Amino acid sequence: MNIEEIRKQFPILERKVYGKDLIYLDNTATSQTPLRVVDAIREYYTTTKANVHRGVFSLSQEATDLQEATRRRVAEFINAESHEEIIFTRGTTEALNLVASSYGDLLDDGDEIILTEMEHHANIVPWQLLQRRKRLTIRVVPINAVGELDFDAYRSLFNERTRLVGFCHVSNVLGTVNPVKEMIDYAHSKGATVCVDGAQALPHMGVDVRALDADFYVFSSHKMYGPTGVGVLYGKRHLLEAMPPYQGGGEMIKNVSFEHTTFADLPFKFEAGTPDFIDIAAFAKALDFIEEVGYDTIAAHEHKLLQYTTERMLQIPGMRIFGTSPNKSAVISFLIDGAHHYDIGMLLDRLGVAVRTGHHCAEPLMTALGIQGTVRASFAVYNTLDECDRFIAALARVAAMLTA
């Protein structure tokens, strides 16, 4: 891999912060975007902006073709059986809310849902909102000392009322890569439907939804080098067809009268209103970038950065790293004894290093860990060993300042 050629595609990596070269280590929150995606957005806005599925004129048909080509591209990328199983949303959060609201409408009072301690709020709060409408029980899988799910506890939570299981493929805090296939297979053996939050997986690894046998799988463009405001819900056709629409409006209908409305076929039943068709079309360029670099290359490079940085960080006095599973993604959440995570993040920013601080939208996980928040450094394919060295030097300087 020619890292310099890759970095040339991301001009933002050349900017300075407080006079220091930017070291961007908040890729778990959002990745940077290569020029081909930005250029595509500019091109589509200046040559092909017209509402999709609405007009017989050329611009509308061209915009429609671009959006629907991306739908087919996404289906191929995750090996969905049909592009009609791909629903475009505004992000992973909206995709999870869609499932909770729409599939949740099929659940009955007394049914049970299983979640895990490591879930992002986006895979907790929508189910709690559903719980307000229906008398449902939510059960929670705990984690062990290294940040892995307790699989024995997972199995023990199932009973005859378990209807749905929701869990992340990769933890946004711990980096833990969960045994998704085994979890799905066990849930199916108990008759439960499974919704997988794949937001932190697809930036780093290939996903085959049919091989996993996932019922629902959700993810975001902006974590995959693509535009913001675009998400994907994959759902098995028979489930999507059984679910009521999530929102009502234009585009998701066949016929409307004041007496009765019939809904459009998949996937449009779940895509009310004008979509972000420009950014959806540009998302295909981000998928091109990932495929050109290759998931094997991405994984090997990020694993090298993860191991190298972890070993160096552990040499800093008072360092505590949360999430030490041998099977983890390129995420390091940490604290330094005697220093507040917010202070660490603020001082690192002054040295040009962008990291995330706080609870990372995972407050229940922080409670389980007995802490209020962490500092989180996360890597992407464009990060370098030199950046890791400069991050460690900055971190050691900050630690010395805060713990003196």
Distance (Å, whole) CA 292 – CA 289: 5
Please, which residues have CB within 8 angstroms of residue 312's CB and are 6 or more apart in sequence? 388, 389, 392
Tokens read off for 9: 């595609």
Q: Sign (positive/negative) of CA torsion 29, 362, 200, 219?
A: negative
The DSSP-derived string for 219-260 is: EESTTTTS-TT-EEEEE-HHHHHHSPPSS-SSSSEEEE-SS-
Cα angle, residue 248 at apex, residues 242 and 84 outer, rounded to 5°:
45
* Catalytic (active site) residue 168: no
Cα angle, residue 212 at apex, residues 209 and 215 outer, rounded to 5°:
65
Amino acid at the residue 286: A
Greatest pairwise CA separation for the chain in angstroms: 73
End-to-end CA, the chain: 41
CA proximity to 235, closest of 164, 290, 139: 164
Write down the residue that tokens 């004008």 correspond to.
274
Distance (Å, whole) CA 143 – CA 149: 4
Tokens read off for 99: 């499932």
Q: Which of 168, 195, 361, 388 is catalytic?
A: 361
Instruction: List the catalytic residues.
Output: 361
